[in-house]
């Protein structure tokens, strides 16, 4: 096991290096300029813009810049944002709690909905409940979040006026008021994200349970006269959840990566909105850091998923 | 009325033979605007009427929270690093300049005790120096007094190349700043400088304190802890800032203007998109103010109809125009197309340019595409009114365009496209991707077709079109096609820097990495001479005349075809009073903001 882990980690290094090189080169070749807005200001002479580019090392060859970035990164220096001149790690750390709260809660909501619905639907396939659950699941993952988000805003903020649609990380209230307001403003984004995710999870859980429920050992369990509840919870769900757990583990990076579209619609100051505003401002160090952290998380959680898989299903061995 | 008469009248006001009001009335009668008249009096030593913004609250505070929504979030709070106007605005909530520009383009003192003038001897008659008297009793938020040293420091800070300040260009004309006493400075210029106020007034020129930034001049500028924790002189004290998200402030009890501000707390929330920002102010009233509403007017009108808020339209100097290339974009000379050594095969014919000018249906574009956000114009300088040329006009007429082209020998061929000497009137017309611009392009293409000119439309992603990437041929500055359309901005009511985009020595080329600002590559000796005269001229009356002549010369060249003057739009919740000006930051009068009703 330890051997396997070590080998996987060593293999991860070249792939991360490759990812970072591709990201860096792509960003360097992409059009755009962080100081583009200065060009349209007649009071800023072009020399000023050129001096800034030279100062921030943007006119050097790409490979030189990459090596410089890599060495700094290894020393734990993530660079600083061109747009705010703040260290990139500070910016990312500022955004993490909000993203964890909103996207994390949405994932929990998704699981809380998908597990019971998926299991119940699979227990009686093609029953009315299953048909309804299926219909909603299909609607759920065919509607993109930007659509459902706007729809909810239109209904609950504009027409009914119940919920605010601008998310504020710095609520001024204290005590119960604070709790109430932070729940109120998070309802819509969490619902949008959670239900979207729940739709696909439901389909997954249903098919996984369906695969297991027909197996001989389940029939044996029932023949032994076991309580139906026990059969489902102990014998079926436990085995059916193995692929689902891997799926959830692979989804974890998005919990840290944020939800770009939803964060933009509700103005949630999370990682996703940091990334999108950095892209719009051509703020290369921030884009680079966020995407690279994301890549690391994907590699890490892939590894975790593989290990979990083996732990849940001892038939799989690590070699 | 000629210059002599004008000077006589001004003298009459000075000696008290004519009242100020009568003078303004007479000026209005001869077609000059009130601000122009005011400017002339001020220049000639008659004091400007005290700037009076209506302000009803009788004490500071009590207004509750003030919530502003910026769809582009501010990312930094040091005015010397502000890349975009969003950052200037955020910094302006805490830092202040010596003076601001009001809606008519007049200077209003903020940290200055008075506006320098030639009459007081505080502006040199030859334009080589200016004396600023600073307001007494102003303190920074931490209690330190604001003095002349702070002003001098800002100049040193910005001009140190290691600081990497974006404001360094504002100070390049300054040779030295002498401290006369703690509240008086003398700014000495390298050469006569009519724009003696540059660097100390208006958007982006707010002052930072020496005692907190003094140790961080030069290469260490990025490390200053106060870059993100402003300690200014403004009406609000800094509370918290998350770059790219939210900025919080609270009432400054020691603000240097009595009874201000009205609001107890300030919140500037960023992010999202312009349409939903408009919605949050105009429809749901969740926020009090929405900045820079670049939203189609049709949508704004719909949102306004509920009555929860209204759109504020602030006229300024921004304008949308079409450029006709003076050089040949299809021939490569020494590794560059649109080289200044070539001539455009068809657009060098003045009749073709005049015809295209007549084929732009400005009135319809205003009516059906831009609404209140774009006013049809024939001028490059549209505001302030004192610099607007009365000599230009525009006309949309397909028949006249056809006549012109027939007269110049362009005959319609078998395909319906005009040609002459084997050259067809087929042009490529590019702009950035932006819904109103594509509609605009289509309207022009249709009209041109009826006159036998075929336009091929091309649209380029904004981030490419407006980038300064030297390797990309699709930027507006490369101008590797026949026609292009975009908007240009100015925040200063003195369009001197704005008008240098038409001088010969600014032609964009490979040699200057396409950083030159003359994109159409039109060159005119007359224009160059007039422009040089402008940079030396100090008399505001003559400057106004020069601006008008510069504008008329560009427009007559027909390589630059002005189309729309674009005012700034912002959203106000019902009752909010802002005194906005198109010549300064939107938050320039933030201390005077209040709510009615």
d(CA B550, CA B531): 7
How many other C-beta atoms are found inside a 10 Å radius of the C-beta of residue B137?
9
0.90 surpassed by pTM: no
Contact check, Cβ <8 Å, A85/B227: yes
Question: pLDDT by residue (tens digit) across B317-341?
Answer: 889 999 999 999 999 988 899 999 9
Banded pLDDT at B49 (limits 50, 70, 90): very low
Closest residue in chain B to residue A273, using alpha carbons only = B271
Nearest to B244 among A50, A170, A277 (CB): A277
Give residue-wise pLDDT tens across range B74-98.
888 999 988 778 889 999 999 999 9
Whether residues B466 and A39 touch (CB distance < 8 A) is answered with yes
Look at residues B417, B389, B349, B579 and name the one whose alpha carbon lies nearest to residue B495. Answer: B389
DSSP string, A30-88: SS--TTHHHHT-TTS-HHHHHHHHHHTTTTS-HHHHHHHHHHHHHTT---B-TTT-SBH
Which of B97, B199, B272 is the best substitution to test chain A (most A C-beta atoms within 10 A)? B272
**Nearest CA-CA partner of B150 in B237, B234, B233, B249:** B233
pLDDT (0 to 100) of residue A237: 85
Residues 194 to 233 of B: which have CB under 8 A from any A CB?
Answer: 198, 204, 222, 227-228
Lowest mean pLDDT among A309-313, B118-122, B470-474: A309-313
CB contact under 8 A, B75 and A81: yes
Taking contacts as CB-CB distances below 8 angstroms, the residues of chain B near A83 are 75-76, 83, 243-244
**A269·B245 Cβ contact <8 A:** yes
Distance CA A96, CA A108 (A): 17
Partners of residue B104 on adjacent β-strands: none
How high is the mean pLDDT of chain B?
88
pLDDT at B50: 46
State whether A32 and B463 contact (CB < 8 Å): yes
The whole-angstrom separation of Cα B243 and Cα B496 is 34
Nearest-angstrom CA–CA distance, B235 and B255? 5
At A137 the three-state DSSP class reads: helix
Nearest to B168 among A48, A83, A274 (CB): A48
Average pLDDT over residues B486-497: 86
Mean model confidence pLDDT for chain A:
85
Tokens of B176: 């030295």
Chain B CB contacts of A153 below 8 Å: 276
Say what the pLDDT of residue A314 is: 77
Give the pLDDT score at B347: 94
- Kindly state whether B159 is in contact with chain A, defined as any CB-CB distance less than 8 angstroms: no
Decide if the complex's ipTM is over 0.85: no
Name residues 503-522 of chain B within 8 A of A (Cβ): 512-513, 515-517
Check pLDDT > 80 for residue B371.
yes
Q: Is the pLDDT of residue B365 over 90?
A: yes
Residue B219: predicted pLDDT: 85
B117 touches chain A (CB under 8 A): no
Q: What is the pLDDT of residue B79?
A: 92
The band of A177, judged by pLDDT with boundaries at 50, 70 and 90, is: confident
**Stronger pLDDT, B491 or A290, i.e. the higher one:** A290
């Amino acid at each position: 096991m330890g051997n396997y882990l070590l080998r996987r980690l060593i293999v991860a290094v070249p792939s991360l290096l490759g990812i970072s090189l591709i990201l860096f080169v792509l960003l360097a070749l992409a059009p755009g300029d962080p100081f583009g807005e200065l060009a349209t200001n007649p009071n800023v002479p072009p020399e000023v813009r050129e001096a800034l580019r030279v100062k921030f090392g943007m006119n050097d060859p790409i490979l030189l810049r990459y090596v410089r970035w890599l060495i700094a990164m290894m020393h734990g220096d993530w660079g600083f944002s061109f747009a705010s001149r703040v260290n990139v790690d500070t910016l990312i750390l500022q955004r993490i709690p909000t993203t964890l709260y909103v996207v994390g809660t949405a994932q929990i909501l998704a699981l809380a909905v998908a597990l019971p619905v998926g299991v119940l639907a699979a227990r009686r396939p093609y029953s009315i409940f299953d048909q309804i659950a299926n219909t909603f699941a299909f609607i759920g993952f065919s509607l993109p979040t930007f659509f459902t988000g706007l729809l909810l805003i239109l209904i609950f903020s504009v027409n009914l006026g119940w919920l605010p649609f601008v998310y504020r990380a710095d609520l001024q209230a204290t005590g119960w008021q604070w709790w109430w307001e932070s729940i109120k403003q998070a309802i819509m984004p969490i619902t949008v994200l959670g239900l979207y995710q729940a739709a696909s999870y439901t389909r997954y859980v249903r098919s996984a349970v369906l695969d297991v429920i027909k197996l001989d050992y389940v029939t044996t369990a029932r023949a032994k006269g076991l309580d139906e509840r026990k059969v489902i919870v102990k014998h079926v769900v436990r085995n059916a959840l193995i692929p689902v757990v891997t799926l959830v583990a692979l989804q974890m990076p998005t919990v840290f990566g944020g939800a770009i579209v939803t964060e933009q619609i509700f103005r949630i100051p999370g990682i996703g909105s940091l990334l999108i505003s950095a892209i719009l401002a051509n703020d290369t160090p921030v884009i680079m850091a966020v995407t690279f952290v994301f890549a690391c998380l994907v590699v890490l959680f892939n590894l975790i998923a593989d290990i979990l898989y083996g732990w849940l299903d001892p038939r799989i061995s690590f070699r | 009325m000629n210059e002599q008469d004008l000077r006589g009248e001004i003298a009459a006001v000075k000696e008290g033979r004519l009242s100020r009001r009568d003078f303004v009335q007479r000026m209005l009668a001869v077609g000059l605007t009130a601000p122009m008249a005011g400017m002339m009096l001020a220049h000639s030593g008659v004091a400007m009427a005290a700037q009076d913004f209506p302000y009803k609250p009788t004490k500071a505070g009590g207004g509750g929270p003030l919530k502003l929504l910026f769809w582009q979030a501010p990312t930094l709070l040091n005015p010397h690093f502000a890349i975009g106007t969003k950052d200037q605005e955020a910094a302006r909530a805490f830092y202040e300049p010596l003076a601001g520009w009001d809606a008519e383009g007049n200077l209003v003192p903020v940290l200055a005790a008075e506006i320098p003038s030639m009459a007081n001897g505080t502006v040199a008659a030859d334009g080589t120096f200016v004396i600023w008297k600073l307001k007494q009793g102003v303190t920074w938020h931490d209690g330190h007094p604001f003095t002349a040293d702070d002003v001098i420091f800002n100049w040193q800070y910005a001009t140190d190349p290691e600081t990497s300040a974006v404001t360094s260009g504002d100070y390049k004309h300054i040779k030295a700043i002498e401290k006369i006493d703690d509240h008086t400075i003398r700014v000495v210029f390298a050469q006569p400088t009519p724009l003696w106020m540059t660097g100390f007034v208006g958007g982006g020129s707010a002052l930072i304190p020496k005692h907190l930034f003094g140790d961080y001049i030069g290469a260490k500028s990025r490390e200053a802890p106060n870059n993100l924790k402003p300690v200014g002189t403004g009406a609000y004290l800094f509370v918290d800032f998350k770059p790219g998200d939210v900025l919080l402030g609270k009432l400054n009890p020691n603000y240097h203007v009595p009874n201000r501000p009205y609001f107890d707390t300030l919140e500037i929330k960023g992010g999202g998109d312009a349409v939903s920002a408009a919605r949050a102010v105009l429809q749901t009233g969740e926020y009090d103010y929405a900045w820079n509403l670049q939203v189609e007017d049709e949508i704004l009108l719909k949102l306004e109809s509920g009555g929860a808020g209204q759109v504020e339209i602030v006229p300024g100097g921004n304008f949308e125009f079409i450029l006709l290339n003076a050089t040949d974009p299809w021939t490569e000379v020494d590794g560059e197309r649109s080289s200044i050594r070539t001539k455009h095969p068809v657009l060098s014919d003045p009749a073709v340019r005049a015809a295209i000018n007549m084929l732009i249906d400005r009135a319809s574009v205003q009516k059906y595409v831009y609404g209140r956000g774009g006013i049809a114009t024939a001028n490059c300088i549209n505001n302030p009114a004192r610099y607007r040329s009365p000599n230009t006009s525009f006309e949309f007429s397909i028949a006249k365009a056809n006549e012109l082209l027939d007269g110049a020998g362009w005959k319609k061929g078998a395909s319906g496209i005009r040609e002459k000497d084997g050259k067809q009137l087929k042009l490529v017309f590019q702009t950035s991707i932006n819904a109103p611009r594509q509609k605009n392009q289509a309207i022009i293409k249709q009209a041109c077709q009826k006159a036998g000119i075929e336009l091929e439309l091309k649209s380029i992603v904004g981030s490419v079109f407006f980038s300064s990437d030297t390797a990309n041929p699709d930027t507006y500055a490369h101008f590797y096609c026949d026609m292009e359309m975009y908007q240009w901005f100015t925040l200063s009511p003195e369009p001197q820097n704005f008008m240098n985009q038409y001088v010969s020595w600014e032609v964009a080329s490979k040699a200057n990495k396409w950083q030159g600002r003359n994109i159409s590559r039109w060159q005119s000796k007359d224009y160059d001479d007039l422009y040089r005269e402008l940079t030396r001229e100090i008399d505001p009356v003559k400057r106004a005349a020069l601006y008008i002549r510069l504008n008329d010369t560009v427009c007559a060249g027909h390589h630059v075809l002005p189309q729309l003057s674009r005012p700034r739009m912002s959203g106000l919740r019902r009752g909010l009073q802002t005194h906005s000006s198109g010549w300064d930051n939107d938050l320039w009068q933030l201390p005077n903001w209040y709510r009615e009703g």
